Structures are given as C-alpha cells and as structure tokens.
Structure 1
Amino acid sequence: MKSLTLLSLFITITASSAFASQCPEILKGEQRLLNSTDTVNLCDEFKGQTLLVVNTASQCGFTSQFDDLEKLYQQYKDQNFVVVGFPSNDFRQDKGSEEQTAKVCYLDYGVTFPMMARSSVKGSDANPVFEKISDQAGVEPRWNFYKFLVNKNGDVVATFPSSTNPMDTKLRRVIEQQL
C-alpha cells in the first residue's frame, strides 16, 4: 500500500511538472530581433506574462503610437506585462531597410520593449505568432498597429483596432484584469 501511495505521488509530481513546463502554442519557437542577428526563444522570454502583441509600421499615420506603447510598457512592465512589436510591410508602410525601421523605433521613439524582425502578419506567409493569434482571435490584423492582448496562458483575450490608442482606458482596464 505504501509503495502504491509513493508511486501515485511520483506520477502526480511528474505530471504536474511536465504540465507546468509546457509552452503555449503562441510562444513556441524563436524570433529574430529587429535589425539584429540575435534571436529570442519566445517561451523562455515571455511564458507566464501578459503580452500586448502589435504589428507595427515605421511610416504609418499610427506610427506615433510608439510613444504611448512605450508608456504603457513602462507602466506595467513590473507586473509581468510586455509589449511585443512585430514590424510588417503588409500594408506597404514599413518600406526600406530594417535598419531604417529600427532607427524609427529606437532612436525616434525611444522604444525599449522587444521588437522582432520584420515579417508578414497576415495571409499564407504570416509569422507563426500571428498565424496562431489569428487562429485564436478569428481575425487578422486589418491595418498597422492592430493590438492583440494575450494572457499568461497564451490565450488571445482581446483585440483592439489600430485606432485604439495604447493608453485608452478600456485597453488598460482589460490589461489590468489580466495582471
């Protein structure tokens, strides 16, 4: 009887740790950082955090949202929250080199949140992160600066159109509910 109890305990502990180490589908894989050869393992970097995933463009009417995305990131980063930017030229407003895109993000707007390399965010060539986000949310980005809130479990819990300012009360309320 004692060995059966120990066996049950061992199976429970093993199953619990295996479950805890699983990575949400959205975070499986690596991404190259903007204008860099460095890559980041999304699971290692972001597992267990609330994410605001944003497709960005450096030459868009909404590009000034980088200021408020940075403010939002600074406001909540100590509460397991991260803004993650994915530059894309899908809407033809992130032309030129990645170096130019990085200049806009880092120098012009002072972005400190993670920015991934330029990639497609819709269609058959979509970045795997956006492919999974679109599958869950049932919507692809309709324009630049479309925002997807992903909870700590890797589930898309809200989407916000490009016109929603990052400091919008409703958006911040939904983020706070996830923290």
Structure 2
Amino acid sequence: MKGPTSLLLPLISFFSGVVCDGGDESDQHGTIYMFQAKNIDGKTVSMEKYRDKVVLFTNVASYCGYTDSNYNAFKELDGLYRDKGFRVAAFPCNQFGKQEPESELKILDFVKSSYTYTPDMYSKIEVNGPNTHPLWKFLKSERGSSLAADIPWNFSKFLVDKNGHVVARYSHSVNPLDLEEEITRLLNSNS
C-alpha cells in the first residue's frame, strides 16, 4: 500500500513538466491552456488557440482498424460544426501495435489524400509511459478513472469545453458521430 508521500511524488513530477503560457493563473488552472505542443510541421503551438472552442483530442494511427471510421467521422463533424467553433486535435502515436510508423510528412500526406480533410495535426507523441506528453498526462489525470488511467488503444478521445476543461473521455471504439449531441450541447453552452 502506498503512503501519502509516495502519492504526492507523481503529482509533483507531473506539475513540474507543465509548460505555462502566462496569463491569469486562476484562468489557466485546470485547463488545456497551460500547455503547448508541436504541430505536425514542428512549430510550437499554444493550446490557447482553442480558447472559446470545443475540442476533441484524439491519438491517431494510419494503420489501425479504427482509422477510416474515425477520420470520416471527424471530417463530417468538422463540416457540420467548424463554423460554430468545433475542432479536432489529432496526435499521431505509434505505441499501439506500431500502427503509426511513418514520418510526420507521410502521416500528413496520408490523411490529406485519403480523406480530403485535415484536422489540427500535431507531431507524433507518446500517450503512455515515462515519455507521455504533458498535455496527455493532463487529459488522463482529468478523466482517467472510468477507463483506467492509461490510454488503451489508438483513437481514444477527450472532449474539452469552450473554457478548456476536459468534460468527457471516450473509448477508441466509440464513433465520433456518437458524440454529436454532446458536442452540440457544449457549442451552445454560454459557460
């Protein structure tokens, strides 16, 4: 059994890896706005870009059985709700079955040519283990208990509201179109 001190150490190490962008600390606390990530072109992007947007964060892979259904659903949701403030943030990850082995350039080419659509694409990351990206540590810490803390497979999903708070976590087997009602509710919310 772990004692109180051993439970605090992971929290201390988690928060020491957070990249802050500044701004009002009370506004930033517990939101995605504390983080940055490299986009698929290698440029550092603040998650501030999603302020006042509803965002679906997902770990993606090009050679997964869920690839086609998820990208097609992302494209459909984007077409319906982009103008209302909905975004998909896709993070390639090669940790599950080695199903995302290609370079970022090849991943981007695959998505563009296969789906004539590109979500917000980020550089390849790890979502589990000692090299977990700080943003994904945060996403998991906010909604980790219902599906276990670790990401089990490609296309796990986290839904974030317009205030940058993680409101739900979904399994890789959930089709993004099944989230449409919740996405609409969040887009229409005034808070």
RMSD: 2.0
Question: Deviation at 1:101?
Answer: 1.2
Q: Which amino acid aligns with 1:158?
A: A
| Alignment check: 8 A CA contact 2:50 2:164 kept | no
Q: Identity over the aligned pairs, expressed in percent?
A: 31
The aligned counterpart of 2:15 is: none
Q: Which amino acid aligns with 2:161?
A: N
Q: Hey, what's the Cα distance between the residues in 1 that align with 2:120 and 2:174?
A: 20
Q: Which amino acid aligns with 2:66?
A: F
Question: Deviation at 1:24?
Answer: 5.1
Q: Hey, what's the Cα distance between the residues in 1 that align with 2:65 and 2:24?
A: 46
The aligned counterpart of 1:3 is: none
Select the residue among 54, 65, 71 that pairs with 1:61: 65
Distance 1:23 1:103, change over 3 A: farther
Question: Deviation at 1:140?
Answer: 3.0
| Paired residue secondary structure (2:99) | coil
Q: Which amino acid aligns with 2:44?
A: T
The aligned counterpart of 2:132 is: 126
The aligned counterpart of 1:5 is: none
Question: Deviation at 1:137?
Answer: 0.4
With structure 1 as the length reference, what TM-score do the two structures score? Answer: 0.80
The aligned counterpart of 2:104 is: 98
Q: Hey, what's the Cα distance between the residues in 1 that align with 2:163 and 2:157?
A: 18
Whichever of the two has the greater Rg, that structure is 1
Q: Hey, what's the Cα distance between the residues in 2 that align with 1:83 and 1:158?
A: 14
The aligned counterpart of 2:118 is: 112
The aligned counterpart of 1:87 is: 92
The aligned counterpart of 1:135 is: 141
Question: Deviation at 1:52?
Answer: 0.5
Question: Deviation at 1:21?
Answer: 6.0
Q: Hey, what's the Cα distance between the residues in 2 that align with 1:18 and 1:57?
A: 36
| Alignment check: 8 A CA contact 2:31 2:166 kept | no
1:119-158 Cα deviation digits (max 9, x unpaired): 0012221111111000000133211011110112222111
With structure 2 as the length reference, what TM-score do the two structures score? Answer: 0.76
**Where does the alignment leave 5 or more consecutive residues of structure 1 unmatched?**
1-16
Select the residue among 73, 76, 79 that pairs with 1:71: 76
How many residue pairs match? The answer is 159
Distance 1:123 1:19, change over 3 A: closer
| Alignment check: 8 A CA contact 2:37 2:122 kept | yes
The aligned counterpart of 1:40 is: 45
| 1:148 correspondence with 2:158 | yes
**Where does the alignment leave 5 or more consecutive residues of structure 2 unmatched?**
1-22
